[in-house]
Amino acid sequence: MSKDICVFLEQRGGKLQKVGLELLGEARRLVQDGQQVVGILAGNNVSGIAQTAFQYGADKVVVIDNPALDIYVTEPYTKALTAATKQLEPEIVLFGATSIGRDLAPRVACRVHTGLTADCTSLDIDQESKLLLMTRPAFGGNIMATIICPDYRPQMATVRPGVMKMPEQDTAKSGEVTKIEVAFSPEDMNVEIVEVVPNEKKSVDVTMAEILVSGGRGVGGAAGYEPLHKLAAVLGGEVSASRMGVDSGWIEKERQVGQTGKTVRPKVYMALGISGSIQHMAGMEESEFILCVDKDETTPMMALADLGVEGDLKEIVPKLTDAINKHKESKAM
């Protein structure tokens, strides 16, 4: 057993996905004496992007480069990652909880005969046992469960994008890439990708926004998000929402923040008419500055907020938007 920490470096179309870089930073935080952070990159003609992993915390990068891995297909990728895991014998393996990671990680765990904790929101090392402490919401988010895997190796977990802080890039860092050869057979290609149709619709990535104007039950309906869009526009931010707004059909799913939505870390998070369920707060509590506007000063969100305003958001938001516009106009004169 090498004792190293491996991170699956997910790539799509030859571009490293953000979650893998986030996990390199988290692995760097978790490493103990004698351990190294090892990135595992699979794909076709992807060796050229491996150096980026060193800039975000990897000590080593192993690449499985094969035409069979050109487009993600479950079986060949499972075979590749299983082979890499068996060869490297790591102590810990981390995957992003993306559509690919959620498909791939449990299959690899099964083939190497170990456990997997999915959708973790926190990782740590127990200083006595040196076991990985994998914390995730349980029972609908009503409790946070910390899970360990004492008897099997590697210890494996998936982590949702945006949960872990993106490490700073060190462009001066580089390293040596090692290749792992995996022999694929025609039987491995048990699914044929006939066509890949890109989504032409420009999607909103609320995880990248520095300012989020987020609305919940208190906005009252789909029309209630219009003033939030105007406020977000003058602030240079994006509109997000609680699960209530999405489930009610008031706003699109891609803007949802929380355990069943996106995890965000903006510089400013404005919670407007959001009472603050534990599920929602788990997705935004790491925001740098939290502003809450609500009629009820006793809501959990008020207790979490850096600044709480008791009042009607339908009156406050338009006035705040006007005030910001006037301030911007005066600065421009």
**pLDDT digits 0-9 by tens, 165-203:** 888 888 888 888 999 998 888 888 888 888 777 766 667
Q: Do residues 136 and 234 share a domain?
A: no
Last residue of a domain, one of 129, 157, 188: 188
Question: Phi, psi at residue 118, to the nearest 5°?
Answer: -100, 150
Asked if 17 and 103 count as a contact pair (C-beta separation under 8 A), the reply is: no
User: Rounded to 5, what percent of the chain is helix, strand, coil?
Assistant: 35, 25, 40
pLDDT of residue 323: 92
Rounded Cα–Cα distance for residues 254 and 258 (Å): 11
- Evaluate whether residue 104 is within a structural domain: yes
Q: Domain total for the chain?
A: 2
Q: Do residues 266 and 316 share a domain?
A: yes
pLDDT of residue 88: 93
Last residue of a domain, one of 188, 222, 247: 188
- Evaluate whether residue 176 is within a structural domain: yes
Q: Do residues 234 and 152 share a domain?
A: no
Pairing of strands 116-120, 143-147: unpaired
- Evaluate whether residue 39 is within a structural domain: yes
Please report the beta strands in 255-296, taking only residues with DSSP state E, as ranges in sequence order. Answer: 268-272, 289-294
pLDDT of residue 202: 64
In the chain, which stretches have pLDDT less than 70?
A: 1-2, 140-142, 199-202, 332-333
- Evaluate whether residue 195 is within a structural domain: no
pLDDT of residue 140: 64
Q: Do residues 261 and 157 share a domain?
A: no
Q: Do residues 78 and 132 share a domain?
A: yes
Q: Do residues 271 and 173 share a domain?
A: no
Q: How far is CA 100 from CA 29, 52, 60, 103, 274, in A?
A: 24, 20, 23, 5, 32
Rounded Cα–Cα distance for residues 87 and 84 (Å): 5
- Evaluate whether residue 173 is within a structural domain: yes
- Evaluate whether residue 275 is within a structural domain: yes
Pairing of strands 211-215, 238-241: parallel
Q: Do residues 110 and 243 share a domain?
A: no
Q: Do residues 45 and 112 share a domain?
A: yes
- Evaluate whether residue 201 is within a structural domain: no
Q: Do residues 179 and 247 share a domain?
A: no
Provide the residue range defining the domain that includes 288: 206-332
Rounded Cα–Cα distance for residues 132 and 147 (Å): 8
Burial degree of 89 (CB within 10 A; 0-12, 13-18, 19+): middle
* CATH code (residue 247): 3.40.50.1220
Q: Do residues 32 and 59 share a domain?
A: yes
Q: Do residues 168 and 219 share a domain?
A: no
SS3 of 44, please?
Answer: coil
Q: Do residues 144 and 216 share a domain?
A: no
* CATH code (residue 91): 3.40.50.620
**Radius of gyration from C-alpha coordinates of the chain:** 22
- Evaluate whether residue 271 is within a structural domain: yes
pLDDT of residue 144: 80
